[in-house]
Amino acid sequence: MRNIVKYSFWLFVIIVIFLSFKELINNKEDLGAKGSEESSPQMVEKQNDETIKVVVDPGHGGVDPGAIGASGSYEKDFTLDLSKKLVALLENDPNLEVLMTREGDQFLSSEARERPNFANDLDADLFLSIHANTYSDPSVSGTETFYYDQNSKPLADTIHKHLVNATGYNDRGVKQENFFVLKDTNMPAVLLEIGYLTNPQDEQKMMTDVFQQSVAEAITDGINEYLDG
């Protein structure tokens, strides 16, 4: 009789342990399945999100006029007019989200790094800073493009190719420089010097809507080729 009681007791203990172990396993499986369900929407959203954020930066602004052209034109006005035309074209692509560092004649502090910080805070994918050049010799002409990080060079090379064809100016090449708008950005970034406002012939051409539209189309073509590549 004592043996039967003893065996019954241990059988009961074994059954309890078995059931407890089984419940523990089931709970772990439930938690694992729940974790997968909660994380999957974020993974799918990230994989399906094809929107590319492009920041267009019209150089200078406000109390900083930038280069002053042969006839007295301001670089800040040229860069803003061109940037608006560029943004209008880029916004035709539903896969692009386009933003500007300034949309009016406002000053952005280089000391506070407002331009690169704007792009970094947005977690942008591309950054384009639009400029016009200046030199003491009014005969100097040309288009040049700058980059800092090596991962920005393909973007610089591609846009520059289209840009030179559109301006018709001397090809001054693609160059590496540590401009803060290039150095302090966390994404591929380029600075485009479209032409020299201090060259009277170039300035007259650069201030026209026809020229600016052509340049905007060239930059757009360059961005599209870069993204498709």
- Residue 191's pLDDT is 99
> Pseudo-torsion of CA 162, 163, 166, 169, nearest 10°?
-130
| Topology annotation, domain 50-228 | Aminopeptidase (3.40.630)
Is 193 a known active-site residue? Answer: yes
Catalytic residue among 45, 50, 177, 193: 193
Residue 8 pLDDT grade (very low, low, confident, very high; cuts 50, 70, 90)? low
How many CB atoms sit inside 10 A of residue 195's CB?
Answer: 27
- Residue 50's pLDDT is 77
The C-alpha atoms of residue 74 and residue 206 are separated, in whole angstroms, by: 11
In this structure, of 23-37, 70-84, 109-123, 188-202, the range with the lowest mean pLDDT score is: 23-37
pLDDT digits (tens, 9 = 90+) for 201-218: 999 999 999 999 999 999
- Residue 29's pLDDT is 40
Mean pLDDT, residues 185-196 taken together: 98
Q: The dihedral of CA 35, 37, 40, 45: what is its sign?
A: negative
- Residue 164's pLDDT is 98
62: left (phi over 0), alpha (psi -120 to 50) or beta: left
Per domain, the residue ranges of the chain are 1-49, 50-228
pLDDT digits (tens, 9 = 90+) for 138-164: 999 999 999 999 999 999 999 999 999
- Which secondary structure element, helix H or strand E, spans residue 70, and what is its range? none
The C-alpha atoms of residue 169 and residue 59 are separated, in whole angstroms, by: 20
pLDDT digits (tens, 9 = 90+) for 30-83: 433 333 333 222 222 223 357 999 999 999 999 999 999 999 999 999 999 999
Q: What is the pTM of this model?
A: 0.79
